[in-house]
């Protein structure tokens, strides 16, 4: 079962900005090969950190407001939001360990 949820412009504020805990947001596209490579990594992060972190995906082709607001120029771009603000970001597909380090999250082996 997937623990990675999809968020759109319509529910971005409620699901990400007003979340009561950190949210990892991936800006993605179905045509993006690196996005497809990152998908299983994000699924593992979502499962392993389910008690402390939400992980969501935003499709760049159908959520132009969020894309513009956060100046997303490449996919995948991943942001870590805390208290409604982006605190870290990374561009590209990374291994789980490198993604967690880049976002300053504790790696779990």
Per annotation, catalytic residue among 16, 23, 25, 32? 32
Q: Please confirm, yes or no, whether 98 is among the known catalytic residues.
A: no
Please identify which of the residues 16, 35, 66, 67 carries the catalytic annotation. 35
Q: What is the DSSP secondary-structure string of the chain? A: ---PEEE-TTTHIIIIIT-SS-EEEEEE-TT-HHHHHHHHHHHHHHHHTTTT-EEEEEETTT-HHHHHHTT--SSSEEEEEETTEEEEEEES---HHHHHHHTT-----
Please indicate whether residue 32 is annotated as part of the active site: yes
Catalytic residue numbers read: 32, 35
């Amino acid at each position: 079962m997937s623990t990675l949820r999809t968020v759109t412009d319509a529910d971005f504020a409620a699901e990400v900005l007003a979340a009561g805990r950190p949210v990892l947001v991936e800006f993605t596209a179905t045509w993006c090969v690196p996005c497809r490579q990152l998908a299983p990594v994000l699924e593992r992060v979502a499962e392993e950190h389910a008690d402390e972190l939400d992980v969501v995906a935003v499709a760049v082709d159908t959520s132009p407001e969020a894309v513009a607001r956060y100046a997303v120029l490449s996919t995948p771009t991943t942001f870590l939001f805390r208290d409604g603000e982006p605190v870290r970001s990374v561009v590209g597909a990374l291994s789980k360990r490198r993604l967690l380090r880049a976002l300053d999250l504790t790696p779990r082996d």
